[in-house]
């Protein structure tokens, strides 16, 4: 077992050095961009890396209580366990693991996860904020063993969704998916989440669009109406809901919490990526890129200003691409201050490319 972990770790380090990792469902990067590993959110879980992860103990409603001891890393897997404590209210004892770093679009993240077989949410999600003010993306909230028989379908569903809450006003939309609807060619079609490790992915494309993935296939997706822009932490946890929660599939059975064969969820690995432009140098002729050229405002609604430093001769071309790779707009740039109209474009993310002689710069633009 030890040699297996050493080999796994060496492979992980080697791939990180060249900026790639094995990926189940990583989408094709838009033209001109490529995926680069976010090491602070990527882990093979050979150990519990305290530089990356922490165990917050804030609680959900009773009967939940979060403690640090109910999570850890063993045999190359992160685990979170639910146990029983004989008290009247907080008897469901579990844990939470959260990233210390945060991330935002454009990014992609996926993990390999097997759920506890109890009536409780096995979660993989992103969040920043509190109940009254937050952005949240729920990649997975699977319950593989609902205690209410009428919720048996929950054993197959992701329960993907987003929340955008400002001053207690909530915008929410679901992108849920039932794994029995995977293509016949997918060997994980109809496999319950506690039986095997499932690969769960999410591409946070821009300030309004999120695409979910399951075992290599696109599943649900969501589109927000308000900008969805806060940087977020990555979280796993395991929790149940009280008996009177009519929207939940049934509180956990207390007897199940003493069965170590079903009371634990596992994460084998997590891989996170950011979109980057490999042709965009950090400096040009000794001048930092942000001193050479500036784009503003961003987000923008009507125009984008493209300004060059006074020291540079400008005879440049401005190109604007969709995230699918189509050239949307092209314009010659002459002089140090230029303005490009984008009022006719729909909301979304675009890629700006500017070529000035041998110099080339790129920037993602959020059209609001």
* Residue positions annotated with a catalytic role: 136, 141
Phi-psi region of 190 (alpha: psi -120 to 50; beta: other; left: phi over 0): left
* Phi, psi of 133, rounded to the nearest 5 degrees: -145, 110
DSSP 83-99: EE--SSS--EEE-EEEE
Determine the Cα–Cα distance for residues 41 and 53; give it in Å rounded to an integer.
Answer: 9
Residues counted in the chain: 368
Distance in angstroms between the alpha carbons of the first and the last residue of the chain = 52
Q: At a CB cut-off of 8 Å and minimum separation 6, what does 325 contact?
A: 30, 31, 32
Pairing verdict, β 264-276 and 34-37: antiparallel
With tokens 């530089």, the residue in question is: 51
Three-class secondary structure of residue 150 per DSSP: helix
Parallel, antiparallel or unpaired: strands 92-94 and 64-66: parallel
Burial of 336 (0-12, 13-18, 19+ CB in 10 A): middle
What is the layout of strands, in order, in the sheet containing 233-239? Answer: 53-54, 96-99, 233-239, 121-129, 134-142, 161-166, 169-174
Contact 272, 107 (CB under 8 A): yes
Residue 221 Cα to chain centre, angstroms: 13
């Amino acid at each position: 077992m030890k040699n297996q972990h050493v080999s796994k770790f060496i492979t992980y380090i080697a791939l990180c050095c060249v900026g790639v990792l094995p990926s189940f469902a990583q989408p094709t990067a838009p033209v001109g961009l490529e995926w680069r590993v976010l090491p602070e959110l990527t882990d093979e879980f050979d150990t519990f890396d305290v530089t990356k992860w922490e165990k917050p103990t804030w609680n959900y409603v009773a009967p939940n209580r979060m403690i640090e001891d109910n999570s850890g890393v063993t045999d190359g897997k992160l685990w979170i366990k639910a146990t029983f404590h004989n008290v009247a209210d907080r008897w469901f004892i579990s844990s939470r693991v959260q990233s210390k770093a945060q991330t935002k679009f454009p990014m992609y993240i996926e993990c390999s996860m097997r759920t506890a077989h109890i009536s409780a949410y096995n979660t993989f999600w992103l969040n920043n904020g509190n109940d009254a003010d937050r952005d949240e993306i729920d990649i997975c909230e699977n319950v593989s063993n609902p205690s209410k028989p009428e919720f048996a379908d929950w054993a197959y569903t992701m329960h993907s969704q987003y929340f955008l809450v400002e001053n207690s006003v909530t915008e929410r939309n679901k992108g849920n998916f039932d794994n029995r609807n995977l293509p016949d060619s997918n060997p994980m079609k109809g496999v319950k989440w506690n039986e095997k490790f499932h690969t769960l992915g999410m591409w946070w494309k821009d300030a309004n669009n999120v695409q979910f993935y399951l075992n290599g296939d696109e599943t649900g997706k969501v589109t927000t109406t308000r900008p969805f822009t806060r940087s977020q932490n990555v979280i796993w946890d395991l929790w149940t809901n009280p008996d009177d929660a009519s929207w939940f599939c049934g509180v956990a059975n207390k007897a199940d919490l003493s069965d170590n064969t079903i009371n634990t969820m596992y994460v084998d690995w997590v891989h996170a990526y950011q979109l980057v432009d490999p042709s965009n140098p950090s400096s040009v002729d000794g001048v930092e890129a942000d001193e050479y050229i500036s784009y503003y405002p961003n987000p923008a609604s009507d125009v984008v200003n493209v300004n060059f430093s006074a020291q540079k001769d400008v005879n440049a071309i401005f190109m604007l691409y969709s995230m699918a790779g189509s050239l949307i707009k092209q314009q010659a740039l002459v002089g140090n201050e230029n303005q490009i109209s984008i009022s006719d474009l729909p909301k979304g993310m675009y890629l700006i490319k500017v070529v000035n002689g041998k110099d080339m710069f790129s920037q993602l633009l959020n059209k609001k």
